[in-house]
Amino acid sequence: MSTAPFTYDANPGRVVFGIGSLARVGEESARLGGRRVLVITDAEAKAIADAVVEQLGDRVALVWDEVAQHVPIELAERARAAATAAAIDSIVCIGGGSSTGLAKAIALTHGVPVLAVPTTYAGSEMTPIYGLTGPSGGDTSRKATGKDPIVQPRIVIYDPELTVGLPAAVTGPSAFNALAHCVEALYAAGANPVITLLALDGIAAIGRSITTCVREPANVDARSDVLYGAYLAGVSLGATGTALHHKCCHVLGGTFHLVHGEVNAVILPHAVAYNAPAVPELMVKVGTALGAPAGVSAARALFDLAASIGAPSSLKALSMPHEGLDDAAARTVADTTVNPRPVNVASVRAMLEDAYEGRRPA
Ligand code: NAD
The predicted pLDDT at position 152 comes to: 98
Query: Can you tell me the distance from the alpha carbon of 213 to that of 309, in angstroms, rounded to the nearest whole number?
Result: 9
**Choice from 64, 69, 148 to test ligand 1 binding pocket (greatest atom count within 8 A of CB):** 69
Ranking 20-29, 134-143, 277-286 by mean pLDDT, the lowest is: 134-143
Task: Compute the Cα dihedral for 29, 239, 229, 4 and give only its sign.
Answer: negative
The predicted pLDDT at position 16 comes to: 98
Q: Average pLDDT in the 31-57 region?
A: 96
CB of 249 closer than 8 Å to CB of 180: yes
For residue 95, report the distance from its CA to the centre of ligand 1, in Å.
Answer: 7
pLDDT digit string, tens, across residues 121-179: 999 999 999 999 876 444 556 677 899 999 999 999 999 999 999 999 999 999 999 99
Query: Can you tell me the distance from the alpha carbon of 10 to that of 297, in angstroms, rounded to the nearest whole number?
Result: 31
User: Hey, whose CA ends up nearest to atom 2 of ligand 1?
Assistant: 96
Strands 129-133 and 143-147: antiparallel
Question: Ligand 1: which atom is nearest the Cα of residue 249?
Answer: 34
User: Hey, whose CA ends up nearest to atom 35 of ligand 1?
Assistant: 97
Query: Can you tell me the distance from the alpha carbon of 77 to that of 145, in angstroms, rounded to the nearest whole number?
Result: 16
Q: ∠307-313-314 over CA atoms, to 5°?
A: 160
What is the value of pTM for the model shown?
A: 0.97
The predicted pLDDT at position 141 comes to: 60
Cis preceding-peptide flag for 312 (omega within 30 of 0): no
Q: Average pLDDT in the 226-254 region?
A: 96
CB of 217 closer than 8 Å to CB of 168: yes
Contacts of 193 (CB under 8 A, 6+ apart): 3, 4, 6
Query: Can you tell me the distance from the alpha carbon of 53 to that of 189, in angstroms, rounded to the nearest whole number?
Result: 40
- pLDDT band for 182, please (50, 70, 90 cuts): very high
Q: Average pLDDT in the 231-260 region?
A: 95
The predicted pLDDT at position 139 comes to: 53
The predicted pLDDT at position 254 comes to: 83
